[in-house]
Amino acid sequence: MKISELDVSLYCSRCHDETLHRVQYLNDKIHSTECTNCHRKIEMNLNPTRELYKEVYKRITSKPTRLTKEYKADLSKFIEQLPKRVLSKPYRLMRNVDETRKAFKKLKNHE
């Protein structure tokens, strides 16, 4: 799960002008927008736990298809990179878990 922020220029209904807004995304879905001028914040009804479940489900169900596509594209490259990928998987998994924890903590602090 990943939280990202982007500053964009949007029309603010409170300021009645185009102002800079901070848009916060949760897994590429808009979670909230906040006007940097008047600090009016609009939050979407996203359930972080549900978003995490959907992300994990999508990754698990698409894995066989992704692996098949990789080895059909270039079998020798696939076999060559497999040991390195297997050894680095625990690190990549822990990095993902840490990123998810940080996202949940950040969302909990904003509530």
pLDDT digits (tens, 9 = 90+) for 15-34: 999 999 999 998 888 989 99
Give me the pLDDT at residue 66, please: 92
Q: What would the two tokens of residue 8 be?
A: 């964009």
Q: What would the two tokens of residue 64 be?
A: 């066989």
Spans of all domains in the chain: 3-110
Q: What order of strands is seen across the sheet that includes strand 17-26?
A: 3-12, 17-26, 29-35, 41-43
Give me the pLDDT at residue 104, please: 85
Give me the pLDDT at residue 111, please: 59
Q: What would the two tokens of residue 50 be?
A: 């549900």
pTM of the model: 0.65
Assign residue 67 a region (left: φ > 0; alpha: ψ between -120 and 50; beta: otherwise). alpha
Residue 53: how many CA atoms within 13 Å on its side-chain side? 5
Residue 2: how many CA atoms within 13 Å on its side-chain side? 6
Within the chain, which residues score under 50 in pLDDT?
none
Nearest to 3 by CA among 98, 102, 109, 110: 102
Assign residue 73 a region (left: φ > 0; alpha: ψ between -120 and 50; beta: otherwise). alpha
Give me the pLDDT at residue 87, please: 93
Give me the pLDDT at residue 8, please: 94
